């Protein structure tokens, strides 16, 4: 069966510090991978998605970046965090293809920037 | 612009029935999803509608009317564990998901 893991689950970072969130998927090949951010009381905001290794599409201009060094690994990074980067970050995967389809989410990472 | 509307919060009684509505205006339509999200956790898939009509899955049912840009999620025999947020999402013509802000459902004994 397929599983998805992301870490860390919780982190508190000072403004200006770097960030690295990691996500891995097991039990499937060539998935579509996504990074979402969820602010309190708001809908999920798509940050990045990837349909293959090294293929990253950015949906929102910001100080975040994403990389997909391996087929089932997706990393969200920042060189310098802003207060506005605080939120609940979710990694997700779907079956590879041109459509999104059903999403399977990781456990989430709650980031607080102070 | 693209927009998904759903009530912010609803309250219902254990054992009762509740209907959560979702209206959408999107660039094209390739399906509508409902997800459940407990506080502090990730969303989990509940249902998918691409054709008009009702899809039933146990205590949960989802209805779609494409001509009206409208869907609802019906929860029967409510249980305390159904207290959660329910997210409506539409896949647009670019096959991207547009998400509503979610409806927080509070179940009272």
Q: Reply yes or no on whether the pLDDT at A38 is more than 90.
A: yes
Determine the average pLDDT of the residues in B19-27: 96
User: In the structure, what pLDDT confidence band is assigned to residue A41 with cuts at 50, 70 and 90?
Assistant: confident
Which pLDDT score is estimated for B88?
Answer: 97
Q: Reply yes or no on whether the pLDDT at A61 is more than 70.
A: no
Mark yes or no for CB contact B99/A99 under 8 Å: no
Collect contacts of B18-21 with beta carbons under 8 A, ≥24 apart.
B18/B74, B18/B75, B18/B78, B18/B105, B19/B72, B19/B73, B19/B74, B19/B75, B20/B72, B20/B73, B20/B74, B20/B75, B20/B86, B20/B88, B20/B103, B20/B105, B21/B70, B21/B71, B21/B72
Mark yes or no for CB contact A103/B45 under 8 Å: yes
Residue of chain A nearest B93, judged by CA positions: A99
Cβ-nearest to A108 among B8, B42, B96: B42
Mark yes or no for CB contact B91/A100 under 8 Å: yes
User: In the structure, what pLDDT confidence band is assigned to residue A48 with cuts at 50, 70 and 90?
Assistant: very high
Q: Reply yes or no on whether the pLDDT at B96 is more than 90.
A: no
């Amino acid at each position: 069966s397929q599983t998805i893991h992301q870490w860390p689950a919780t982190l508190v970072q000072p403004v200006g510090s770097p960030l690295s969130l990691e996500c891995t998927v097991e039990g499937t090949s060539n998935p579509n991978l996504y990074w979402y951010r969820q602010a309190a009381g708001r809908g999920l905001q798509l940050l990045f998605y990837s349909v293959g290794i090294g293929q990253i599409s950015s949906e929102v201009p910001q100080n975040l970046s994403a990389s997909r060094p391996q087929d089932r690994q997706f990393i969200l990074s920042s060189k310098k965090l802003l207060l506005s980067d605080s939120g609940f970050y979710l990694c997700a995967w779907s079956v590879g293809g041109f459509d999104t389809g059903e999403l399977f989410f990781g456990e989430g990472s709650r980031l607080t920037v102070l | 612009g693209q927009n998904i509307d759903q009530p912010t919060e609803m309250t219902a009684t254990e054992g009762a029935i509740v209907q959560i509505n979702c209206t959408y205006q999107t660039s094209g339509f390739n399906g509508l999803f409902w997800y459940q999200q407990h506080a502090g956790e990730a969303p989990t898939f509940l249902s998918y509608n691409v054709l008009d009509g009702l899809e039933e899955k146990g205590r949960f049912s989802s209805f779609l009317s494409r001509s009206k840009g409208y869907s609802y999620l019906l929860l029967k025999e409510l249980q305390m564990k159904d207290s959660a947020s329910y997210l409506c999402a539409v896949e647009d013509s670019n096959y991207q998901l547009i998400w509503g802000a979610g409806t927080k459902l509070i179940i009272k004994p």
